[in-house]
A and B are shown apart, each in its own frame.
Chain A
Amino acid sequence: MNSAILRQWKTKGWVCLAVFAGITFLLAASWTVAAGKSKEEGPAARLSEAPLSAQSLRNPFAGDEKAAAAGHKLFEQHCASCHGADGRGLGHAANLHAPAVQNAPAGVLFWALRNGRIRKGMPSWSHLPDEQLWQLVTYLKTLKDER
């Protein structure tokens, strides 16, 4: 009798957990979708939050074509799934050709990559070495020429 009750409770437990996990997954998915549909402030808002010290950072790879090529490769690996292969932005992700991005000092872009904007879905890329972040910045600056 006891084992039958235990089995019954076990089955109920599994069903509850499956329902709970399913609801959580749907909530998480809908949250992401809703975030994608919501009207986003442009990238200018985040870039304006950069500290003054970021503006004076110098890009060690500025104008370096090899660094830009490496940055392009990194962009395809890490950024293209949200910003699009051409960097013009998919869904709520920012258009990287926008003047706010292209006119920003390199150090501010570096700061934005390192810190991300995690409340709005842009992850922090601080786990990438600084060299790779600067290579990405170097590539982003070449997008200006393609507008």
Chain B
Amino acid sequence: MAKRQSYVGRLLLVSSLACLVWSAFPRSAKADKPYFVTYDDEMEEPGNLEISLNPVLGLPHSAPNFLGGWTEFEYGATGWWTTEFYLDAQTTRGQGGLFTGYRWENRFHPLADEHWINPVLYVEFENINGADKALAEIVNHDSVDNLAELNHEARAEKEREIETKLILSSNYRGWNFSENFIGEKNLAHEPWEFGYAVGASRPLALAASPHACGFCRENLRAGAEIYGGLGTWNEFGFRGTAHYLGPLLDWDLPGGTSLRISPTFGLNRNSARFLIRFGVSYEIPRFDRIIRRWF
């Protein structure tokens, strides 16, 4: 009981600090990303810092319900390089909550100009444990069985991995089509694991209205994404892998805040039955200038 109170206390403290920091920064630019798992070719603007909370509520049929997710700090280092740091955590019904690890990601835009298909290269180092339920991507034979493991047992399993992605993205008449090919390698002599994510989205209105508005169609973006595992180097394919499909809705509020939601459905027996993903992002424009002012 005391442990639970201390957990709630810490959560309240962190939330209050986050609100304080939130209110101290300027607001102007807005975030545009509609996807949770799929990446498009949009890079963070140089000097901008985006802070994002991405909880996922999982309702698997053969495992306890859980609330996983990640906190994301995305910084535009240059026009062609975006770096991100993630902190993952989860809480499972009847098993309590825990911090499950961190991830550090870098995305590189190799081409100078816009093309029909725009490639982005992605490299990530992750140090998470087996209890991680962020479901930031699905690879290998990740399945609902992994979600059924008890937290105190699963957390003992260390996963230090390098994850690479080839991101291909096209923008055409307001539509964005993005395809990701994922290759992940556990540094502990395990074979390469593969996965995919595909997404499409479009704003509900293509032209902007001349007036400032919060709930107008140009600020809403709808789409869908599908993602899943592709086995390993030795067992490549769909057999025994989990797949998910979900519609997406993104709402860019005036002032730099963006809200997203995606009810996601497991497509086979290996998948969790139902997930609800939420996202709230806030972008601090020209964070580099704020830092420079401090020194």
For residue B34, give the distance in angstroms from its CB to the closest CB of chain A.
10
Q: Is B78 an interface residue (CB 8 A)?
A: yes
What is the predominant secondary structure among interface residues of chain A facing chain B?
A: helix
**B75 with A120: CB separation less than 8 A:** no
**B78 with A35: CB separation less than 8 A:** yes
**B212 with A73: CB separation less than 8 A:** yes
**A82 with B173: CB separation less than 8 A:** no
Residues on B with C-beta less than 8 A from A130 are 173-174, 206
- Total interface residues on A, using CB and 8 Å? 44
Residues A131 and B28 in contact in the complex (CB < 8 Å), given A24-B83, A73-B212, A123-B46? no
Q: Is A80 an interface residue (CB 8 A)?
A: yes
**A31 with B207: CB separation less than 8 A:** no
Q: Select the stretch in B4-12, B60-68, B131-139, B286-294 that faces chain A.
A: B286-294
**Chain B residue with Cβ nearest A65:** B210
| Bound CA–CA A124/B45 (angstroms) | 9
Residues on B with C-beta less than 8 A from A71 are 208
- Total interface residues on B, using CB and 8 Å? 48
What is the predominant secondary structure among interface residues of chain B facing chain A?
A: loop
Residues on B with C-beta less than 8 A from A118 are 43, 78-80, 109, 112
**B209 with A32: CB separation less than 8 A:** no
| Bound CA–CA A80/B256 (angstroms) | 13
**Chain A residue with Cβ nearest B210:** A69
**A77 with B30: CB separation less than 8 A:** yes
Complex interface bits, A80-123 against B, C-beta within 8 A gives 1, otherwise 0: 11100000000100000000000000000000001111111111
Complex interface bits, A1-40 against B, C-beta within 8 A gives 1, otherwise 0: 0000000000001000100010011001101110110000
Residues on B with C-beta less than 8 A from A74 are 208
**A31 with B77: CB separation less than 8 A:** yes
**B207 with A129: CB separation less than 8 A:** yes
| Bound CA–CA A50/B127 (angstroms) | 44
For residue A33, give the distance in angstroms from its CB to the closest CB of chain B.
6
| Bound CA–CA A119/B111 (angstroms) | 9
Q: Is B47 an interface residue (CB 8 A)?
A: yes
**Chain B residue with Cβ nearest A124:** B114
**A127 with B40: CB separation less than 8 A:** yes
**Chain A residue with Cβ nearest B207:** A131
Q: Is A62 an interface residue (CB 8 A)?
A: no
**Chain A residue with Cβ nearest B104:** A21
Residues on B with C-beta less than 8 A from A31 are 77-78
Residues A32 and B80 in contact in the complex (CB < 8 Å), given A73-B210, A77-B30, A127-B40? no
Q: Is B186 an interface residue (CB 8 A)?
A: no
**Chain A residue with Cβ nearest B42:** A127
**A122 with B173: CB separation less than 8 A:** no
Q: Is B32 an interface residue (CB 8 A)?
A: yes
Ranked 7 nearest A-B pairs via Cβ: A118-B79, A69-B210, A28-B77, A81-B285, A129-B174, A131-B207, A129-B206
18 contacts between A and B (CB under 8 A): A25-B75, A29-B77, A31-B77, A33-B292, A35-B78, A67-B210, A74-B208, A76-B28, A81-B285, A82-B286, A119-B79, A121-B46, A121-B79, A122-B79, A127-B32, A127-B42, A130-B174, A131-B174
- Taking Cβ atoms with an 8 Å cutoff, the residues of B that contact A are 28-30, 32, 40-43, 45-48, 75-81, 83, 85, 102, 104, 109, 112-114, 118, 127, 171, 173-174, 176, 203, 206-212, 218, 285-286, 288-289, 291-292
